[in-house]
Amino acid sequence: MVDILIVEDNEELCSLLCDFLRCENYTVSTAASAEKALSLFEKYGARLVLLDIMLPGTDGFAVCRQIREKDNTPIIILTARTDKEDKLNGILLGADDYIEKPYDIDILIAKIKGIFRRRLAIDKLTDGDIVLDLADGTVEKGGAPLSMTAKEFELLHLLMANKGQTLGKDFIFNRIWGADSESEPQTLTVHIKWLREKVEEDPKNPRKIITVWGKGYRWED
Burial readout 52-73 (b: 16 or more C-beta within 10 A, e: otherwise): bbebeeebbbbbbebbeebbeb
Q: Which of 48, 44, 59 is nearest to 8 (CA)?
A: 59
Residue 99 has pLDDT above 90, yes or no: yes
Of the listed ranges 7-11, 118-122, 130-134, the least confidently predicted one is: 118-122
139: buried, middle or exposed (CB in 10 Å: 19+, 13-18, 0-12)?
A: buried
Average pLDDT, the chain: 90
Is the pLDDT higher at 31 or at 84?
A: 31
* Count of C-beta atoms within a 10 Å radius of residue 26: 18
7: enclosing H helix or E strand:
strand 2-7
Cα–Cα distance between 119 and 206 in angstroms, integer? Answer: 29
Cα–Cα distance between 94 and 14 in angstroms, integer? Answer: 23
Please write the tens of the pLDDT for every residue from 22-66: 999 888 999 999 999 999 998 888 889 999 999 999 999 999 999
Is the pLDDT higher at 14 or at 135?
A: 14
**What pLDDT score was predicted for residue 36?**
96
Cα–Cα distance between 144 and 84 in angstroms, integer? Answer: 51
Q: Which of 32, 33, 1 is nearest to 18 (CA)?
A: 32
State the average pLDDT over residues 1-18. 93
CB 153 within 8 A of CB 139: yes
**What pLDDT score was predicted for residue 185?**
74
Cis peptide before 102 (omega within 30 of 0): yes
Label residue 180 by pLDDT band (50, 70, 90): low
Label residue 124 by pLDDT band (50, 70, 90): confident
Strand, helix or coil for residue 67: helix
State the average pLDDT over residues 146-171. 91
Residue 116 has pLDDT above 90, yes or no: no
